Amino acid sequence: MRIDGPGPDGQPLRYGSRANRGDPMRATPSDTRPEKRPLRIFGLDPMVGRAGDYRITVDIPYRDLTLTDAHEHRDDDPDNERTTFFDDRLQVIDYEAISGRLLRVVDLDHPHVALQHGLEPSESDPQFHQQMVYAVASRVLENFDRALGRRVRFSNGKRLRLIPHAFRGRNAYYDHKLNAVLFGFFEADEDDPGENLAGQLVFTCLSHDIIAHEVTHALLHRLRPQYQQPTNPHVPALHEAFADVVALLQRITFPELAKDLVRRNRGDLSRPHPLLTIGAQFGAAAGLGTALRSALDSKGLRSFATEREPHALGRWLLSAVYEGFVRSYEERSADLIRLATGGSGRLPDGELHPDLVNRLAQVCTRTAQVVLTMCIRATDYLPPVDPTFSDFLRAMVTADYELNRADEGGIRAAMIEAFRVRGIRPDAESLAVDSVLLQPEPKGAPDADLARIVADLIHWNTLRLSREVAEDGLPAPSTPVPEAAPIQQWAAEMVEEANESEAFIDPEPVRRDVAKRLTGWLDQHRHTLGLDGTERLVLEGFHPAQRVSPSGEIVSELVVQIVQKRAVNEDLGGVAWTAGMTLVCGLDGRVRYRIHKPFTDARLGQLRAWVAAFDEDTGAGWQSERDPRRLVQAFTLRAMDQRRFR
């Protein structure tokens, strides 16, 4: 912008020009996009979140939204109602299962909506339901992007579909074939509805933790697709526990909720609170009388060594991570407690002073964000196949160490101790932090070819992270939905689309080039890396990572997943016999970490024992004809979530 006009001396004035730097007027910046989009949500399930304290506003990254029609007819039809909206990675489609039709979607950019930070939280307004799933899913994506140092892309650059009213039933689940999260709704139990009305509709899309849980399933599947293979009991349990951890810790990062937790618990985070449960309304409405799960303990379960049900086993990991968070919070807040109590450490009776509540809540949210980032970053240090809880502990500790060498809050030791008391012991020489850390590779000579591959991918990632580079080449909208089509028909069409896209070529030329070069480099160095010399190498995934350490240093790495499969002539319940390796490579062309699960007789023996135990538990061992894929089918995300309320 430039405003020209005569000045007092008759000379032209040029506001905003280089010739007039002393003038107070400046041109409006060309980029006026907001950084955040504030939206209102239920912080807790509506059953416990009816009070205003739990109706909170969250800031999510601002993304341009497109509203369009999911039917086949023209978008410029004046009578056309917009039935889907999407940004570059998420798409909300509100197929309503009762009527079998598409519902009109909310326009979050409309001034009347945007000026009040979205629609008012409501149990009965389907457009608020759409706002709720979009806001929570966007926040989950933001936490993954920040932790991993890259913008997480779904397979083939497609958007994750969010369908708030997909079906009638006690479930919500991620379907990787549809690349969609489908939320169900059901009537509260007639005999024991908890704090709900008997027979009232309960919507899973109104629960922050259910939304975050299912979106995390989608993201973990994207990051580690082989974790759909239940090669040991910890694999499906890790999927469930990791999703619970993300949902729980993300909610604690909301300042309003953290203040309530601190105030009601008087600073003691080890006491019960609604914030520390998962699926409170779901569990109560299903007649369980309580939430689906709690972060506080794992009472009532079998021993860690014998538990095999994924949600029950996952509670051991969830409670361990939460206890590690509490220990670190107590360490970080000890000085505030000493100041508030004159050094005694004993808080007086009654309500805590509001200033103390605010300061403790700040420590609580910061610690929750640190632990959440630590857990998400652990995925970069996990093997691509056959993980255990011990692997997750070592990955967490290593991920934190790589960016925070000092560990002033003692979070690594706190996590190790919380896992130890539950019987989760890492495969290490001792429980000292430096022993639990994954051992880096010996520092050899840099590899020039690998260094160029890493540098090219890091440069590509830097452009994607920059605000100054316009986002273009967005994927096309998802498959149109025929009007009044049954959900089964639509799902069948989307499955066909998913199957057709398996041979899809990555839309990014840089990534296609890197994949080709990286595959050649791996094949050339398979003996040096310790990979099997006979089985085909499959490049399961490769991801750049750019993070800023507390000292201000930028850490740039390439994370590579390699998988190898070997045919075995025996019944393993449909589970593939696989080996895999995760490589963490630096900009200098050196391999820094090599996390390997090789083909060994011990691993194959453990897999056989797990299949035999499953058959004994389910009675399949006595059947003359057993389903050859029985183990895989029993532990799909949908099947596991269908059993979670029983």
Task: Kindly indicate whether the domain formed by 232-439 is annotated with CATH number 1.10.3470.
Answer: no
Burial class (CB in 10 A: 0-12, 13-18, 19+), 403: middle
Residue 80: pLDDT band by 50, 70, 90 thresholds?
Answer: low
* Residue 3 scores a pLDDT above 70: no
Distance CA 127, CA 115 (A): 16
* N residues, the chain: 646
Give tens-digit pLDDT for 506-537: 557 888 899 999 999 999 999 999 999 899 99
Q: What percent of the chain has pLDDT over 90?
A: 63
Residue 445: pLDDT band by 50, 70, 90 thresholds?
Answer: confident
Give tens-digit pLDDT for 535-585: 999 999 999 999 888 778 888 999 999 999 999 999 999 999 999 999 999
Enclosing H/E stretch for 285: helix 280-285
Mean pLDDT of 378-392: 97
* Residue 493 scores a pLDDT above 50: yes
Q: β-pairing, 160-168 with 90-93?
A: parallel
Specify the pLDDT at position 504: 38
Distance CA 221, CA 353 (A): 45
Specify the pLDDT at position 193: 83
Specify the pLDDT at position 474: 42
Specify the pLDDT at position 1: 45
Provide the H-helix boundaries in 172-233.
208-223
Highest-confidence segment of 30-39, 135-144, 467-476: 135-144
Task: Kindly indicate whether the domain formed by 35-223 is annotated with CATH number 3.10.170.10.
Answer: yes
Residue 644: pLDDT band by 50, 70, 90 thresholds?
Answer: low
**Which is more confidently placed, 523 or 100?**
523
Distance CA 529, CA 320 (A): 34
Give tens-digit pLDDT for 193-234: 888 888 899 999 999 999 999 999 999 999 999 999 999 999
Domain with CATH 3.10.170.10 in the chain: 35-223
Mean pLDDT of 442-446: 88
Specify the pLDDT at position 23: 59
Specify the pLDDT at position 299: 65
Say if CB 95 and CB 165 are below 8 A apart: yes
Provide the H-helix boundaries in 501-643.
509-524, 526-529, 601-618, 630-634, 637-642
Contacts of 464 (CB under 8 A, 6+ apart): 150, 151
Q: CA 109 → CA 58, 67, 116, 205, 415, distances in Å?
A: 16, 10, 11, 21, 43
Tokens representing residue 289 in the block = 């009388």
Domain with CATH 1.10.390 in the chain: 232-439
Distance CA 643, CA 309 (A): 10
The residues with which 5 forms a beta bridge, in sequence order, are 13
Specify the pLDDT at position 507: 59
> Is 430 in a helix, a strand, or coil?
coil
Give tens-digit pLDDT for 229-263: 999 999 999 999 999 999 999 999 999 999 999 99
* Average pLDDT over all residues of the chain: 86
Specify the pLDDT at position 559: 96
Give tens-digit pLDDT for 460-485: 888 887 765 544 444 444 444 444 44
Specify the pLDDT at position 463: 84
- C-alpha 295, offset from chain centre: 18
* Residue 492 scores a pLDDT above 60: no
